[in-house]
């Protein structure tokens, strides 16, 4: 890397975001990493003493995001961001019929509305100029395999990530004049705290008509977790996307990659329904 490059990653308190920050700092990047809680700001700043600026914002709070924009602009002092990694997210489970509106909205707020909001606020620092040969930065969406495949009882999460996929494509087509590329990473299970943060996430539905299915749904989830890959796999991919001029537009990341791709992209939906039926009822 000939000159200092700058990347902003949302949600670096734990998991993928934290590992990506580590990986990029080790490779000479200056990382702006956001956390939601002050206690995490202290911890993560101690974890990354050099080439790291900790930002404190809840991605759903536009006022806080704008304050961080000022900090980033000042630190960059005229430089551009090479990348924005929209990583912060959460996963709320439950039957789509019963999930209360507040939870459903919260899922959309964090995984969708906030992604658009954060992106829009930081766009000025990513824009290049095609006519004058000034390169733009990259936007990397940490989406999910749930952005291309629907799993029962994770409906709100799947819907939010499908919408994120659309958002990525729309941005890419609309931001061409600024030479901004938008790439989506679609991980399967990754070792992180995402699901722990929602431990017993089906518990509130045990006494409903769906109660009997919740145990099975948990089992499907646990089986998936056993195949989890380390977060470093995603960090490496982020680095590859940042360093190559052009890459694929989306990356499914999973153990048994080829069967997964064939399954999620080409398996007829009725057959997939049948598989879920067996897992849930037989
Ligand atoms: N782990 C997987 O199996 C997996 C698979 C596919 C996709 N993903 C995606 O990967 C991304 C990172 O997840 P992860 O697995 O690394 O889980 P994680 O360890 O729980 O990390 C999520 C990060 O997002 C932050 N966050 C959540 N809500 C926020 C808010 N309102 N404002 C600011 N920050 C917020 C969290 O902060 P707090 O610590 O303060 O909550 C945390 O830093 C997510 O978008 C997730 O959907 C994960």
The model's pLDDT over 243-258, given as tens digits with 9 standing for 90+, comes to 999 999 999 999 999 9
Determine if ligand 1 sits within 6 Å of the CB of residue 20: no
- Cα–Cα dist 112/24, whole Å: 25
- 212 found inside a domain: yes
| Domains in the chain, number | 1
Write out pLDDT tens, residues 12-60: 999 999 999 999 999 999 999 999 999 999 999 999 999 999 999 999 9
Give the domain CATH number at 40: 3.40.50.720
Name the active-site residue from 6, 23, 29, 157.
157
The reported pTM is 0.97
Q: Is 108 in the pocket of ligand 1 (CB under 6 A)?
A: no
* Ligand 1 neighbourhood includes 187 CB (under 6 angstroms): yes
231 Cα nearest atom in ligand 1? 16
Looking at the DSSP bridge assignments, the partners of residue 32 are: 8, 53
157 is catalytic: yes
Kindly report, residue by residue over 91-130, the tens digit of the pLDDT.
999 999 999 999 999 999 999 999 999 999 999 999 999 8
Whether residue 1 lies inside any domain: the answer is: no
Which structural domain, as residue segments, surrounds residue 23? 6-281
Q: What is the Cβ-side half-sphere exposure of residue 135, based on CA atoms within 13 angstroms? A: 14
- Give the closest residue to 52 by CA, choosing from 40, 63, 62: 40
Please report, for residues 34, 53, 56, 70, the alpha-carbon distance to residue 64 in angstroms, rounded to integers and kept in the order given: 11, 15, 8, 10
């Amino acid at each position: 890397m000939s000159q200092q490059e700058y990347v902003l990653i949302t949600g670096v308190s734990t998991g993928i975001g934290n590992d990506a920050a580590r990986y990029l700092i080790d490779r000479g990047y200056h990382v702006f990493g956001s956390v939601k809680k002050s206690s995490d700001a202290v911890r993560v700043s101690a974890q990354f003493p050099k080439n790291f600026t900790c930002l404190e914002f809840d991605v759903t709070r536009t006022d806080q995001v704008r304050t961080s924009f000022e900090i980033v602009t000042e630190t960059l002092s005229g430089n551009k961001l090479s990348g924005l990694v929209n990583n912060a997210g959460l996963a709320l489970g439950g039957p789509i019929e019963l999930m209360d509106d507040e939870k459903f909205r919260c899922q959309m707020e964090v995984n969708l509305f906030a992604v658009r909001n954060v992106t829009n606020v930081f766009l000025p620092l990513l824009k290049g100029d095609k006519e004058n040969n000034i390169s733009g930065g990259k936007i990397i969406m940490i989406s999910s395999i749930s952005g291309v495949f629907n799993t029962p009882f994770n409906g709100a999460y799947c819907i939010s990530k499908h919408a994120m996929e659309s958002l990525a494509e729309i941005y890419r087509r609309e931001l061409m004049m600024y030479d901004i590329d938008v790439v989506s990473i679609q991980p399967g299970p990754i070792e992180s705290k995402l699901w722990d943060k929602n431990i017993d996430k089906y518990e509130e539905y045990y006494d409903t008509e769906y109660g009997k299915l919740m145990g099975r749904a948990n089992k499907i989830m646990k089986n998936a977790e056993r195949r989890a890959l380390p977060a470093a796999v995603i960090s490496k991919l982020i680095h590859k996307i940042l360093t190559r001029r052009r890459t694929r537009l989306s990356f499914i990341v999973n153990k048994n990659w080829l069967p997964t791709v064939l399954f999620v992209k080409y398996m007829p939906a009725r057959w997939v329904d049948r598989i879920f039926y067996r897992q849930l009822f037989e």
